[in-house]
Amino acid sequence: MKYSLNINGDRYDVDVDSNMPLLWALRDELNLTGTKYGCGQGTCGACTVLIDGSARRACLTPVAAVGERPVMTVEGLGATRIGAKLKAAWAREMAPQCGYCHAGQLMSAAALLERMPEPDADAIDAAMSGNLCRCGTYDRIRRAIKRAARAA
Ligand code: FES
Ligand code: FES
């Protein structure tokens, strides 16, 4: 099936099985490899993207379910006001260790700051609870989100 996807403000045409997860289309069909494959089962958050501004698991979202809704991946995040502040804060706090989980972490943080510009600690923990980090960088992530919020 042919689908036309709106990703980071650009149109991408793909011809894929309707059940193909968006994650596969991003990485294997469109070479947008910033979004990572972790568990493939919706439990780690490595594949988090924004669909219509909400954090969604690309590994569980069939391409056919995306429709006209805008998709944002980590490749497009820096072009947004909140994304630029998050990326600067991430660098300042040296948030990543291996870095593998951090595209997903950034996308969840962006969705949080979009709906709640000044989140408290509980709101940050709740919003980020679905994004796992095997390197244990949680404290630095929390600090980076607070820093970005202060700069917003
Ligand atoms: S790869 Fe999608 S949640 Fe883990
Ligand atoms: S920084 Fe290594 S998994 Fe999170």
Say how many Å lie between the CA of residue 19 and the centre of ligand 2: 29
Say how many Å lie between the CA of residue 60 and the centre of ligand 1: 8
Contact by Cβ (8 Å): 94, 58: no
pLDDT of residue 82: 97
Indicate if 85 and 66 belong to the same structural domain: no
Mean pLDDT, residues 115-130: 98
Regarding the beta carbon of 104 and ligand 1, being less than 6 Å apart is answered no
Give the pLDDT band (50/70/90) at residue 99: very high
pLDDT digits 0-9 by tens, 18-58:
899 999 999 999 999 999 999 999 999 999 999 999 999 99
CATH number at residue 85: 1.10.150.120
Residue 31 phi/psi, 5-degree rounding, is: 60, 30
Indicate if 28 and 83 belong to the same structural domain: no
Regarding the beta carbon of 21 and ligand 1, being less than 6 Å apart is answered no
Say how many Å lie between the CA of residue 132 and the centre of ligand 1: 10
Which structural domain range is residue 144 located in? 77-151
Give the pLDDT band (50/70/90) at residue 2: very high
Say how many Å lie between the CA of residue 19 and the centre of ligand 1: 16
| Sheet (strand 71-72) strand order | 10-15, 2-7, 71-72, 48-51, 54-57
- How far apart, in whole angstroms, are the C-alpha atoms of residue 75 and residue 59? 17
Mean pLDDT, residues 100-110: 98
**For the CA atoms of 33, 82, 97, 56, what is the dihedral angle to 10 degrees?**
-50
From 35, 44, 107, the mutation candidate for ligand 1 (largest count of ligand atoms within 8 A of CB) is 44
Residue 152 predicted with pLDDT over 80: no
Indicate if 33 and 68 belong to the same structural domain: yes
CATH number at residue 30: 3.10.20.30
Q: Of the residues 35, 61, 76, which one is the last residue of a structural domain?
A: 76
Mean pLDDT, residues 65-83: 97
Say how many Å lie between the CA of residue 133 and the centre of ligand 2: 5
Indicate if 31 and 57 belong to the same structural domain: yes
Measured in whole angstroms, how far is the alpha carbon of residue 60 from the centre of its chain?
A: 14
Indicate if 100 and 122 belong to the same structural domain: yes
Regarding the beta carbon of 44 and ligand 1, being less than 6 Å apart is answered yes
Whole-model pTM: value is 0.97
